[in-house]
């Protein structure tokens, strides 16, 4: 689940989160903690696999939410989203022009050509896993497919930067550098975040290059961050709907969203929410 950037409006109010002076607030994780985070993220990955199989015309976003909730119960895990600052579901489902934080509904029916971002978080033994993907419903347009490919590619460009002694600006800048040449808008009002015992920890992880102390932050082994490019087909601008949660594009064009939880290790990035990722430690 994306966090608002510094001084962005969130649920109709101002937040005073700042992107500097955070060095002593960052909680590096031990090897044992990384192992628990991997287990939490495997529950997340399992749900995302189920949702990919379900994404077809006629399915509602409420159906997707129900399946995610049932899988949490089967695995003995808890939802990281349900009840978080009042959020009413275990999934965020954001169709077409919706960017993030869409609320599942029985009236939101997937149709041929739709795209739908699904964001999901699970808590296992007190640690949070978090990942997102944008689903294609049937045959989508070439422009929508390109948007998904670029957003997904930007995520992996940022992941590649998650190495010791790299800086936060290398991660955030990698997204912007990947996306901008394609003519898409990088969302600036909502960003990625650190993750561990809490879903939203320091540091915030923008999808655009940041300067100052925030951008200069060095990545160290044990840092775990949720990287989540949100990319719009048109303008980068967004607005929040009257429900206080759903974020939509400013021009009504499509938006895509992909996210992985990533640990920095001495030997490079470990993508905790990718079931095929090998532990590099």
Residue-range domain boundaries for the chain: 22-271
pLDDT at position 255, please?
98
pLDDT at position 6, please?
52
Q: CA 15 to CA 191: how far, in whole Å? A: 13
User: What are the C-alpha distances in Å from 253 to residues 63, 99, 198?
Assistant: 25, 10, 33
pLDDT at position 24, please?
57
Tell the residue number behind the tokens 């399915």, with chain if given: 59
pLDDT at position 213, please?
85
Q: What is the pLDDT of residues 193-221, one digit of tens each?
A: 999 999 999 999 999 999 888 889 999 99
Average pLDDT, the chain: 93
Q: What is the pLDDT of residues 70-105, one digit of tens each?
A: 999 999 999 999 999 999 999 999 999 999 999 999
- 22-271 CATH: 3.90.230.10
158 in helix, strand or coil? helix
């Amino acid at each position: 689940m994306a966090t608002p950037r510094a001084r962005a409006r969130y649920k109709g109010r101002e937040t005073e989160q700042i992107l500097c002076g955070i060095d002593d607030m960052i909680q590096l994780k031990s090897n044992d903690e990384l192992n628990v985070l991997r287990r939490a993220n495997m529950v997340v990955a399992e749900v995302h696999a189920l949702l990919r199989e379900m994404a077809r015309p006629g399915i509602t976003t409420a159906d997707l939410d129900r399946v995610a909730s049932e899988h949490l119960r089967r695995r003995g895990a808890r939802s990281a989203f349900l009840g978080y600052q009042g959020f009413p579901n275990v999934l965020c489902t954001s169709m077409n022009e919706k960017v993030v934080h869409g609320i599942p509904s029985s009236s939101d029916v997937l149709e041929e050509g739709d795209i739908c971002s699904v964001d999901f978080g699970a808590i296992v033994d007190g640690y949070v896993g978090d990942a997102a993907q944008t689903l294609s419903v049937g045959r989508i347009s070439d422009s929508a497919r390109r948007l998904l490919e670029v957003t997904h590619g930007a995520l992996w460009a940022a992941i590649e930067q998650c190495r010791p002694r790299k800086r936060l600006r290398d991660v955030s800048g990698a997204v912007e550098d990947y996306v901008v040449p394609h003519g898409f808008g990088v969302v600036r009002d909502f960003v990625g975040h650190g993750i561990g015992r809490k879903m939203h920890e320091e540091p915030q992880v923008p999808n655009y290059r940041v300067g100052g102390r925030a951008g200069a932050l060095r990545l160290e082994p044990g840092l775990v961050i949720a990287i989540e490019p949100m990319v719009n087909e048109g303008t980068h601008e967004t607005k929040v709907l009257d429900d206080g949660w759903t974020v939509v594009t400013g021009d009504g064009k499509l938006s895509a969203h992909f996210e992985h939880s990533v640990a920095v290790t001495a030997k490079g990035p470990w993508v905790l929410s990718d079931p095929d990722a090998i532990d590099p430690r």
